[in-house]
Amino acid sequence: MVRKENLAVRREMRGGKGDVYLYHILPQEEMMGHGRLFARIVLPPGSSIGRHTHEGDTEPYYILKGQGLFTDADGSQTTVGPGDVCTIACGESHAIENTGDTDLEMIALILFEA
């Protein structure tokens, strides 16, 4: 089976700034009960996903392109770029912001706690 990109645009996602573009790789119903999101996410310059908590699931981000600022559960901030993996454990919070002058692109995978 071949699936074409399925774009969803979220404005001020999780209390963040600007628009966030989600290109769904698999719909939740095809994740066989293991997760709820598998997507390529694009944050234009200056946009962000606001701080939010993961209850009952975990989420890694794999940065493909661009530069951003990742806020971890303890409030620490780390500059991230291509090849970096940002992880968040179940019950913890995080946020990410595009601090560069080009799009920040990443793969996000939200998996349910085992």
What residues of the chain score a pLDDT lower than 50?
none
Instruction: State the CATH number of the domain containing residue 40.
Output: 2.60.120.10
Domain count across the chain: 1
In a domain, 76, yes or no: no
In a domain, 33, yes or no: yes
In a domain, 73, yes or no: no
Full domain range(s) for residue 24: 6-66+81-112
pLDDT in the model for residue 65: 98
How many angstroms separate the Cα of 77 from the Cα of each of 37, 48, 51, 56, 107?
A: 24, 14, 12, 24, 20
How many angstroms separate the Cα of 42 from the Cα of each of 57, 72, 95?
A: 22, 19, 14
- Name the strand (E) or helix (H) holding 86: strand 85-88
In a domain, 1, yes or no: no
- Name the strand (E) or helix (H) holding 26: strand 19-26
